[in-house]
Structure formats: C-alpha cells, structure tokens
C-alpha cells in the first residue's frame, strides 16, 4: 500500500493542440516549471511540468492510439485539475495577467478555501484554491 510520505503516484496527463506553446503559457500563467520535454520541432511527445512536489504530464494531441482514447482538447467536458496554493489572490492575478479566462471569480467557500476557476487557452478547466488535503491526514 502506498504511503503518504512517498512521491505522488497520480499525474494528470493532458493533450494540447499546440503543446509547445502551452508549456510556456502554463509556466508563465500558473508557475509550473519544466522538468522534462521530449519531441521533435513543434511536436511534444511527452513533457513533465512540476508544481512543488506535484507534476502534470502533457503532449501534443495526435491521432495515435492514446490520442484516440483521450480525445481532443476543448469542450468535451470532464477535464479539470485542482491546484492547492498558499495565496489564491496571487495565483488569480498571475493567471489573469497571462490571459487565463476566468470562469468563476475569487470566492470564499464555507469549508474555508479561497478559490477561483479559469480556462487555459485550449479549454481545460483549472481550479486554484487554498484547500489542501493531505493524504496522510484525516479528512
């Protein structure tokens, strides 16, 4: 059984039409750092972006077997990533200044989180908030 002190085991994976451009945007808008990037020219076969001890993986949308399972970016629904931050207001300002489309303004939730929701330029939903559950702690 995994332990709460080990490295994360869950890594959201996204496909983008223009992954090369989105890597730069995600780093600028949300504060990710590039851990790894593999590909040829504008095609990103695989990239890993870190955020603290967490990571996402991403690549260019293409018509391979995995791409057929995942589908194209956009309005297909069901795609959302939540990121726990120390300062939701600072994250909001950074995302907005980078051109993220805010779809829910900053709000204080009844469970104590301050958060907002936005879209990246290719339509994925990103939520940022101060609620930060930890695997080794009781809910």
Please give the C-alpha separations between residue 45 and each of 16, 37, 42, 63, 64, in angstroms, as whole numbers.
Answer: 11, 8, 10, 12, 11
- Residue 77 confidence (pLDDT): 58
Tens digit of each residue's pLDDT (9 = 90 or more) over 97-139: 999 999 999 999 988 999 999 999 988 889 999 998 877 777 6
Could you tell me the pTM of the whole model? 0.83
Torsion of CA 120, 16, 34, 125, to 10 degrees: 30
**How many CB atoms are closer than 10 A to CB 132?**
12
Q: Is the pLDDT of residue 2 over 70?
A: no
Rounded average pLDDT over 10-15: 87
Cβ density class 31-44: b for 16+ within 10 Å, e for less? bbeeeebeeeeeeb
* pLDDT tier at 1, thresholds 50, 70, 90: very low
pLDDT over threshold 90, residue 23 = yes
What are the CA-CA distances from residue 50 to residues 61, 64, 74, 96, 122 (Å)?
20, 25, 23, 20, 20
Mean pLDDT across the stretch 83-105? 96
Q: Is the pLDDT of residue 87 over 70?
A: yes
Res. 34: pLDDT tops 90: yes
């Amino acid at each position: 059984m995994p332990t709460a002190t080990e490295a994360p085991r869950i890594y959201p994976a996204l496909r983008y039409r223009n992954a090369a451009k989105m890597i730069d945007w995600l780093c600028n808008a949300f504060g990710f750092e590039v851990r790894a990037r593999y590909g040829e020219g504008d095609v990103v076969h695989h990239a890993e972006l870190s955020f603290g001890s967490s990571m996402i993986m991403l690549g260019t949308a293409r018509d391979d077997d995995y791409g057929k399972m995942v589908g194209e970016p956009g309005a297909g629904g069901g795609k959302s990533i939540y990121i726990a931050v120390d300062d939701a207001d600072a994250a909001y300002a950074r995302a907005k200044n980078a051109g993220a489309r805010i779809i829910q303004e900053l709000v204080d939730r009844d469970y104590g989180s301050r958060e907002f929701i936005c879209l990246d330029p290719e339509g994925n939903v990103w939520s940022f908030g101060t609620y930060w559950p930890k695997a080794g702690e009781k809910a």
